[in-house]
Amino acid sequence: MARATSQFVCQQCGAAAPKWAGRCESCGAWNTLVEETVEARPKALGGTFGGKGKGRALPFVGLRGERAPAPRLGVGIAEFDRVLGGGLVAGSAILVGGDPGIGKSTLLLQAAARVAASGHDAIYISGEEAIDQIRLRAERLGIAQAPVRLAVATQVGDIAASLTDGTSPEFVVIDSIQTLFVETLESAPGTVAQVRASAHELIRLAKRQGFALVLIGHVTKEGLIAGPRVLEHMVDTVLYFEGERTHRFRILRAVKNRFGPADEIGVFAMGDEGLAEVPNPSALFLAERGPDAQPGASVFAGIEGTRPVLVEIQSLIAPAQPGTPRRAVVGWDSGRLAMVLAVLEARAGISFANQDVYLNVAGGLRVSEPAADLAAAAALVSSLAGTAVPADTVVFGEIGLSGEIRPVAHTEVRLKEAAKLGFKRALAPAPHRAGAQPARIPGIIVRELRHVTELAALFAAKTLPRAVAAKDASHA
């Protein structure tokens, strides 16, 4: 009979230790080691390679082969299908994470209703809410008539038995993976061992039965999916549902996708009847801009996945109290902001000393690509000089540490999106390759910049405070 042993498992990273300690040696987290019981497995017969218990030989094949494209099941929500790469793939496992109250359960219930309404078998299993609570939400969303099969369960064995009782579901939603448990483990639901074992059993069942499985996951205070990191490696697709609860915009972002492009986004707007897809997010993000340009704002032409997205970057420069000036940023990397401020001071001689700097990406979108450097710099210099960026101008480009403005990918796509929304001018990097032709889009005039000093000159550089020990940057 197998002998039960125990070990201490970190709830942050999943590392195991033979005894308890206040700090995990693997990830450095404090007070995350929890004792879990582990069944000691008997050794395989033979015990060594070459014995009676050796495995069978694997058949090896070449890389080239004939294969049919993976069949897709459309959810019926265009933005959701875009993020998935064209729809659900049979036998795939999808992990959806997001902050509490952001709308994960609402989105997946709407998706299940759309799939069921199109004639496919959709199942929604909740471990957090009662049946009546789910029905109330369905009535509020106007999808109560959809033939979705509901159930409430937390035991993985019960769920597996229900999904293999002769039915053949095509779409199964589990809300959420942290509430499930396997009876053979004595640890509490939500621990590393339970999350790993529950996900493994459900994913194996989905692969064998051929249905698309969606697991809703909780996130930690850092915004990462709670539980072992191996959970993200086990699934085929990892989606994050982002956005501020005070904003009506929600972003569904793919960070891993074996059946489509990663970093693709879908944009939704939260309303009284649930989440509505936004087919033209650029127009929505810019809808609240006033007709008159104000200092400290610039429009960034970005790329999210495969689609161009225009968003406003706002900056405010205010006199600082004695001491260390404050640097606050929302929707952008704070380290990137510190780098841009340092380059503007060292290479263009523009001083932000004794000034509080606030930077915000309007609409709740989080921007991560380096092409936002020039738009952020334009907003900062505009706010400091009190000179507005023209309202019909978009800005994009990467800034190097020497002050040069580096070219970015998909220039024509960015300019076409800007021209479609009525923008007439653009501040963009000049091509650095010899013989390279600049992008030319009808209806939009591109001003090419090579160095941050050229950007400062556009905003009446003589009115800007100069760095005390900085020399004017020069370039060829």
Q: What's the CATH number where 383 sits?
A: 3.30.230.10
Q: Is residue 272 a contact partner of residue 103, using CB atoms and an 8 Å limit?
A: no
User: Which band of pLDDT confidence, cut at 50, 70 and 90, is reported for residue 122?
Assistant: very high
Average pLDDT over residues 178-185: 90
pLDDT confidence of residue 132: 95
pLDDT tops 80 at residue 402: yes
User: Does 49 reside within a domain?
Assistant: no
Q: Give the number of domains in the chain.
A: 3
The pLDDT value given to residue 444: 92
Residue 80 has pLDDT above 80, yes or no: yes
* Confidence at 203, pLDDT banded by 50, 70, 90: very high
Name the domain boundary from 231, 256, 279. Answer: 279
What is the average per-residue pLDDT within 234-261?
A: 88
176 lies in some domain? yes
The CATH number given to whatever domain includes residue 137 is 3.40.50.300
Under a CB-based contact definition with an 8 Å cutoff, are residues 219 and 99 in contact? yes
pLDDT value, residue 41: 52
Q: Give the SS3 label for residue 462.
A: helix
**Residue 267 sits in the same domain as residue 293:** no
Q: Which residues contact residue 242 at a Cβ distance below 8 angstroms, ignoring those fewer than 6 apart? A: 98, 102, 250, 251, 252, 253, 364, 366
User: Are 254 and 345 part of one and the same domain?
Assistant: no
Instruction: Answer yes or no: is pLDDT of 329 > 60.
Output: yes
Q: Which domain holds residue 22?
A: 4-39
If asked whether residues 31 and 80 sit together in one domain, one would say no
Last residue of a domain, one of 279, 299, 333: 279
Say whether both 153 and 29 belong to one domain: no
Residue ending a domain, among 279, 311, 345, is: 279
pLDDT value at 131 more than 50: yes
pLDDT of residue 38: 66
Both 12 and 118 in one domain: the answer is no
148 and 293 inside one domain: no
In this prediction, residues 200-209 reach a mean pLDDT of: 94
Q: Is 70 exceeded by the pLDDT of residue 101?
A: yes
Tokens of 218: 């909780």
Give me the pLDDT at residue 44, please: 44
Three-state secondary-structure class, residue 335 = helix
pLDDT of residue 46: 45
The pLDDT tens digits of the residues spanning 36-75 come to 776 555 444 444 444 555 788 988 988 887 777 768 899 9
User: Does residue 53 sit within a domain?
Assistant: no
**Do residues 349 and 308 both lie within one domain?**
yes
Question: Mean pLDDT, to the nearest integer, of 72-87?
Answer: 93
- Identify whether residues 328 and 302 lie together within a single domain: yes
pLDDT of 364 > 70? The answer is yes
Whether the per-residue pLDDT at 81 is higher than 70: the answer is: yes
Task: Summarize the confidence of residues 118-140 as an average pLDDT.
Answer: 95
DSSP H or E stretch at residue 249: strand 249-257
Residues 232 and 358 in one domain: no
State whether 445 and 301 are in the same domain. Answer: yes
Is residue 405 domain-shared with residue 318, that is, in the same domain? Answer: yes
pLDDT of residue 474: 44
pLDDT bucket at 437, cuts 50 / 70 / 90? low
Neighbour tally for 184: CB within 10 Å: 10
Does residue 214 sit in the same domain as residue 85? yes
Residue 64: predicted pLDDT: 86
